[in-house]
Every structure is written in structure tokens, then in C-alpha cells.
Amino acid sequence: MRLSEQFAKTTKNVPADEVSRNAQLLIQAGFIYRGMAGVYAYLPLGLRVLENIKNIVRTEMNGLGAEELIMTSLQRQELWQETDRWDDEKVDVWFKSQLKNGTPVGFGWSHEEPIMAMLKSYIASYRDLPVAVYQFQTKLRNELRAKSGIMRGREFIMKDLYALSKDEKELQAFYDQVSDAYIRIFEKVGLGDATFLTYASGGAFTQFSHEFQVITDAGEDIIYVDRSKKIAVNKEVYNDEVLKQLDLSTDQLEEVKSAEVGNIFNFGSSKSKQLGVYYADHNGVEQPVYLSSYGLGVTRLMGVIAEFFADDKGLVWPENVAPALVYIARLGNQPEVVKQADELYIRLTDAAIQVLYDDRDIRPGEKFADADLLGIPHRIVISEKTVQRGTFEWKKRDTTEAQQVNAEQLAKSLGIDTQALL
């Protein structure tokens, strides 16, 4: 990607209508565009980050044997009435509209009901279970406040997985597997140490649900963490009785602000009974299906990563999610400099490395500032000086000192074969 050809530009101006750091930085860096409060478009660089996160999540979901699909945004009133979740008194985030003939429709804010209704037509006997399906979908929610940038949108992308099991035991085994997969996801995006499996309020069926909370001041939740046990309790369920039950003691707990990036629920057989989803067991006896659901806020996670790693100069992406691994800053237009920078760009691209090539006619200081703002993990400078010395100037985003390195050292730090650079 040549920066001279990108329509999205960086800006030094902090957007006046944004109070959250993630939205300020992502807008300044040209990753997202604000349509209105809580509504953001993902521009090419932002989309790359989003796709990287989705692919990490997708790999883990596929590893569980879950099948990817995509449900509809438009929702039928009657279906949600069956579980008493249509009424605005019951669910306060609905966006609703109506068809030309006056039939009410809602916009999907979650998908348990439509998934159950859909799977009902495929499930008849124990042979059809268990089933796990998931999607990445834009959820629409009429949130009261939207001041946390992409961490709380009125339109946002969620990965939601739904599992239908034959009984409580089968459900629990899968629940634990998904929980482990979530932990791996947070490790892969660099948040392993900051993420805590958290006991939170449950649904109709179980006392607790489990949240995956990341410690950050940008979050809207308060949790109590036990760092040695690597678990936490959400303030909403925090009391003496719960602590006793979980074998936690107040002197081991630390109160912190956090952001909920994932939430997993055991619905038991409650939804199946409401929606009539039954299967015939080995004896031909009708049994209700057990439902568990597993949400993960993909765009919220991107916002949390942006906030968590940022410094005073801008974004700092972990390599696994960065929109590119390398930023090439070409200083000057001397033919030899242009030639070397172009060559490096082509060689790295051929070696399957994603590169942002700053080939613009602007001052070096502006290029360095943009490299920092965009948060690309490796910065390589090609200038008259490096051409004369026969070196590359290499710096990692999270270090201050640039180093002069040769092709071999550069290749090593990028994890590629030296041959690729020669």
C-alpha cells in the first residue's frame, strides 16, 4: 500500500466531538470515519485490523467445530414475543421499524431467537446434536450513551456463537472449550495478562454468566480481580455470599476498571421450551435442547487494543492485528533513494509482508509522526545516509532507539529469509 495513493489522510486535529481516546486516535490515523455518535465506518486500514482480529477469532471458532453462517438483521415480531423479548420494557436497545403494510420489524441486537427458530427445522433426533454455529454480524442497538468510541457503538460487529447440546453435561463440556478458546484469542492479540474470566450476573438458568474483562481505564465496568487465581467478580454480583461461594477473600481482591469484551451464557433448556425446540432421544422420547451462547465484541476488542497499547505519539498495534507489519519511510527523492525504497517495498511484499510505503513528498518529521500515529510495528527508513552506508535504519514502534542494520539483521527481525531482501 503506497500512502501517496491512499484517500484517507492522517490529521493532527483531535476530533472535537470525541471524548474517547480510541475514537480520537483511530479517526486521526484515518482508520475509522464517524458517521454520527456511536456509528463508525471502517476505512481501509481500520478494516485490515478488523479482518485480522476476525481471522484470529474465526480460527478458534472453526477449531471448536463450529460452522460459520450469517443470519438476518431484520427480525420478526412474533418470534421475539414467544420469549418475551420484543417489548421495549424488556429490551431497551431495540431499533424498530415497519414494512409498507404496517407489519412491525426489529433490527437484530442479538440472535438467540432467530438461530433457534432456524435450527429447529434441522433438528429432529439426538443424531442431529450437538450443533454449534457462529457469525460475524453488525448488531444494531439503541444505546443510551455512546461516548466510548468504537467500544460502545449503536452499530457494531459482534462474533456470536450458539451451541445446541443434548443435555447439561454436553453443554458444560463445550462451554469450557469455548472459554479456553477465548483465553487463547486474548493471548493472541496481546491482552492475555490483562484479561480476566469474570463471574457476572446469570440468565434465567444459571446463577452466573462468564465475562471476559480487560483491565483498562477506558472500560465502563468495575470488577474485583484475584491476580493469583486469574479470575474476577463483576461488581454487579459482588457480595460476601458470592465471595464465599467462589472461595475468594477480600484481601486478595483488587478493584479495577475494565471493559467487557466477551460474554458467555448458559441458557439451559429455557429458550427451547419457550420456542419448542425438542429432539427425540435414544428411546424416542422428546427432550428439550440445551442452549449456550457466546458473544465477543469484535469492534469493541479493536477499541480496547487501541486504547491499551497507545502512547502519547499514537497507536501501537501488536503484530498479530497490525494493518501492516512494516512502515517504509522514504526520505527524499534522489534516484538512488527512490530505487532502493521501491525495491525494498517490492521485496517485502513478495515475501508476503504487509507494508505501508510512505512515498509521499512531505518532510521527514511528518513521516515519522505518521509512522508513530499509525502504530505500525516496524519502521524502516531509506535515506541518502542509509544508501551511502549501505544499511537500513530500523526501529520498532515500542522502542525509542533506531538502529542501522544490514539485510541479514533486518530479515531476522521481520522473521523472513535474508534471501528475500537481496
Q: Which residues make up the interface to ligand ATP (CB under 6 A)?
A: 110, 141, 143, 152-153, 156, 158, 260-263, 295, 297, 299-300
To ligand ATP, the closest distance from the beta carbon of 152 in angstroms equals 4
Asked whether 363 and 388 are in contact (CB, 8 A), the reply is no
Asked whether 212 and 88 are in contact (CB, 8 A), the reply is no
Give the position of cell 501488536. Answer: 318
Distance CA 99, CA 252 (A): 55
Q: Which lies closer to ligand ATP via its Cβ, residue 31 or residue 357?
A: 31
Asked whether 340 and 387 are in contact (CB, 8 A), the reply is yes
To ligand ATP, the closest distance from the beta carbon of 206 in angstroms equals 14
Distance CA 408, CA 239 (A): 58
CB neighbourhood size of 195 (10 A)? 24
Residue 416's SS3 state is coil
Q: Which lies closer to ligand ATP via its Cβ, residue 160 or residue 370?
A: 160
- Those residues whose C-beta lies under 8 Å from the C-beta of residue 380, and which sit 6 or more positions away, are 326, 327, 328, 329, 344, 392, 393, 394, 410
Side-chain-side CA neighbours of 134 within 13 Å: the count stands at 25
To ligand ATP, the closest distance from the beta carbon of 21 in angstroms equals 16
To ligand ATP, the closest distance from the beta carbon of 228 in angstroms equals 25
- Those residues whose C-beta lies under 8 Å from the C-beta of residue 155, and which sit 6 or more positions away, are 38, 39, 40, 138, 139, 140, 141
Nearest residue to ligand ATP, by Cβ distance, number only: 297
Q: Which lies closer to ligand ATP via its Cβ, residue 70 or residue 346?
A: 70
Asked whether 66 and 133 are in contact (CB, 8 A), the reply is yes
Return the C-alpha cell found at 21.
481516546
Asked whether 261 and 213 are in contact (CB, 8 A), the reply is yes
Return the C-alpha cell found at 136.
460475524
Q: Which lies closer to ligand ATP via its Cβ, residue 3 or residue 259?
A: 259
To ligand ATP, the closest distance from the beta carbon of 219 in angstroms equals 9
To ligand ATP, the closest distance from the beta carbon of 384 in angstroms equals 47
To ligand ATP, the closest distance from the beta carbon of 88 in angstroms equals 16
Q: Which lies closer to ligand ATP via its Cβ, residue 108 or residue 288?
A: 108
Task: Find the helix or strand (DSSP H, E) in which 190 lies.
Answer: none
To ligand ATP, the closest distance from the beta carbon of 420 in angstroms equals 39
Q: Which lies closer to ligand ATP via its Cβ, residue 321 or residue 326?
A: 321
Q: Which lies closer to ligand ATP via its Cβ, residue 110 or residue 216?
A: 110
Q: Which lies closer to ligand ATP via its Cβ, residue 30 or residue 262?
A: 262
